Structure 1
Amino acid sequence: MPDRRDGLVYVMPQDLRLAVEVATATGRPLLLRGNPGSGKSSLAPYIARRRRWRYYEYVVTSQTRATDLLWTFDGVRRLADAQAARFDGGGGGGGKAFDEDAYIEPGPLWWAFAPKSAAVVAEKTRHARREHGSGDDAASGPHKERWNRNRRVDHAVVLIDEIDKADPDVPNGLLVPLASNGFTVTETGRRVAVEPAARPGAGGPFSRHLVIITTNEERELPQAFLRRCVIASAPEPESCVELVDIAKAHLKARLNKVIAEDVTLAEALADELLSVRREAARDGIRPPSTAEYLDALWACRTLNIAVGDGRWEKLRGLTLVKPQQVRG
């Protein structure tokens, strides 16, 4: 798994470690740049697991709005309930008062800042959906608190993945919530802010949460947003030693051991990867990433294919050499 979400393994260089510490100390988001397949998305769950902090994530799409990271409002269900109440009441609505919280789904930043209020609102929504007969899936996304039962309640890591896919209004719309550690829910007027620490010594509100935002740099981000981030680059291994160390870490995490044959395979594949990267630079082809190196490793290991045997060239073309991905 090149981009692991289990947090078991991440080989972090010292420069990136310092960037994480600076972002935590300053309360600024960490904007992590890097090529696709460089493992950017694996950093946040790794830190959360190592620190035993709660973990939440959101994968950005072209349809994402800034409020989706804060909350979502089920306007369709709210309208259906209003129409049903009007019908049952003979056209006047019967004087029924609606609990607007029952149409709100807390987003990852709400869960990070204020997990108690997020849990209350999420439970109202679950209950309303059960009564409505639409299932119990209100908290079926990445915000399930049972994932974080054994984590530190006063701290959280949030991954906002691939923000460059979104319209520039999204990073601009996150400036105030990220700077103030809070926001107001438009539909209800509820103010969401960082809840008081449950345990003494948890630290100030701005240093109890780490927001990691990744970008493939397919779209330029607003300068105002960049100014408010700690900016770092995901490591791009440039030597056989670095690549083999990454392979060993993944093998140990997945198999609990690393045997000599695996190291030999990882070394041969590292040599191949660096060779293909040189060819890619010469031919104007996108160079293979660390993720593709790991794909080749697992494929060779599982299918018992060695570098240089009869099936290697085919596998090499399936994992490392992808000439259809020519740079624009």
Structure 2
Amino acid sequence: MTRFVSHGPDPRDGRIYVLSQELQLAIDVALATDRPLLLSGDPGSGKSSLAPFYAREKRLRYYEHVVTSQTQAADLLWTFDSVRRLGDAQMHRGRLNDGVYVNPGVLWWSLAPESARTRGGLLQDTHRHDPLNRFHDERGTRGAVVLIDEIDKADPDVPNSLLVPLGSQEFTIAETGTIVRREPDVAAPLIIITTNGERQLPQAFLRRCVTYTLPAPTPEDLVRIAQLHLEHEGVLFDNETVDLAVTLADELIHVRDNEQSGRERLPSTAEYLDALRACRELHVHPGHPQWPLVRSLTLAKSPQQDG
């Protein structure tokens, strides 16, 4: 059996994704209507992987912002280093250029990259590379994909505060009065927003999104995903590996269908890949004495208990 060479469980490099016809249609509708695409689905189902894949396939600039409980809507637009400015003002006691203290966020770069480079005309264009574009080799393109990951972790005010800038593709920098709007030669970005359903999103926000829920994977889906990942990692997808992938796919579906009681969530595609990699690396397969433990560590994880 060929030894598995790890490249990380989730490199987020956009090189592998199985894009269904239904999901492609959802993207097309989002682009046609100029609306964000809100993706829901189980954790580990591939919501966050879609954006870098689509950006790489279409040779678009790619930005991502992972939302936390501390995220404010303005963080996606710009941040202002008021502490640094105060220190400089106390030290120099002269007139300061506020553009120095403005840091464009992912939506500013996606809508108006030339404005972002000059901080809305307050700085000279230094022709520096776009610091937030994850695919620097494709930075010259005039289109972009933006991933806003796990929006449901933010305070409910955050989605509502994004309605106007996402809808009008225009906003004003409070500290400088600079108006940022999508540049004429820049295509409207594809905004992909993910949610794990941990918090109810505002209805006004939902109405302004194209929504799509990733379906539960079929055994055929899982095996195809496994093949793409392993072949990308240089692993021969031979008959032995196919048999293991099929067996583990059936096992995951069995866990999802028959062992839901007491579970906070069901095993995902990511955990299926973990099980496959572990079995290959450790030479364990269903029926092996160590299989029950491997199964409980990857596919059939016990819910956490309060201690």
TM-score by length of 2: 0.89
Counterparts of residues 101-116 of structure 1 (less than 5 Å): 101-116=99-114
Q: In structure 2, what residue type is equivalent to 1:266?
A: A
Q: Which amino acid aligns with 2:201?
A: L
CA shift, 1:197, in A, is: 1.4
Residue number in structure 2 paired with 1:132: none
Equivalent AA in structure 2 for residue 213 of structure 1:
I
8 Å CA contact retained: 2:41, 2:47: yes
Change (3 A) 1:235 1:26: same
Task: Give per-residue Cα distances to partners, 1:76-124, cap 9 Å, x unaligned.
Answer: 1111111212xxxxxxx3xx11110111111000110011121233996
Over residues 45-90 of structure 1, what are the superposed CA-to-partner deviations in whole Å (9 max), with x where a residue is unaligned?
Answer: 01001111110000000000000000011111111111212xxxxx
Q: Does 1:314 align with 2:300?
A: no
Kindly provide the CA deviation profile for residues 233-290 of structure 1, in whole angstroms up to 9, marking residues without a partner as x: 12321x3222111111212222275222221110111111112122322454532111
Aligned AA (1:277): R
Instruction: Give the match for residue 3 of structure 2.
Output: none
Asked if 1 retains the 8 angstrom alpha-carbon contact of 2:223 and 2:245, the reply is yes
The aligned residue for residue 192 of structure 1 is 180
Counterpart residue type for residue 111 of structure 1: W
Aligned equivalent of 1:53, options 48, 56, 60: 60
In the alignment, which residue of structure 2 is the partner of 1:260?
A: 239
1:212 pairs with 2:192: yes
Partners of 2:169 and 2:19 in 1: how far apart?
27
Q: Deviations over 1:152-208 (max 9, x none)?
A: 52100000000000001110111011111121111111111111217xxxxxx5xx3
Greater helix proportion: 1
AA of the residue aligned to 1:160: I
Distance 1:289 1:267 in 2: 15
CA contact (8 A) 1:280 1:286 kept: no
- Which residue number in structure 2 is paired with residue 172 of structure 1? 160
Which residue of structure 2 lines up, in the alignment, with residue 21 of structure 1?
28
User: Counterparts of 2:264 and 2:197 in 1: how far apart (Å)?
Assistant: 18
Match among 81, 85, 103 for residue 74 of structure 1: 81
Aligned partner of 1:269: which letter? L
* Counterpart among 153, 156, 169 of residue 181 in structure 1: 169
Aligned to 1:6: 13
Contact 2:41 2:196 in 1 (8 A): yes
What is the number of equivalent residue pairs in this alignment?
Answer: 296
**Aligned counterparts of 1:39 and 1:250: Cα–Cα separation in 2:** 13
**Does the 8 Å contact 1:4/1:42 carry over to 2?**
no
Query: Which residue of the partner structure matches residue 202 of structure 2?
Result: 222
Letter in 1 for 2:247: A
CA RMSD of aligned residues (A): 2.5
| Alignment gaps of 5+ in structure 2 | 1-7
Q: 1:278 to 1:75 in 2, by over 3 A?
A: same
In structure 2, relative to structure 1, the CA distance for the partners of 1:124 and 1:311 (3 Å cut) is farther
Task: Give yes or no for contact 1:286–1:325 (8 Å, CA) kept in 2.
Answer: no
Check conservation: 2:59, 2:141, Cα contact below 8 A: no
Cα offset, 1:225, TM superposition: 0.6
Find the counterpart in structure 2 of residue 99 from structure 1. 97
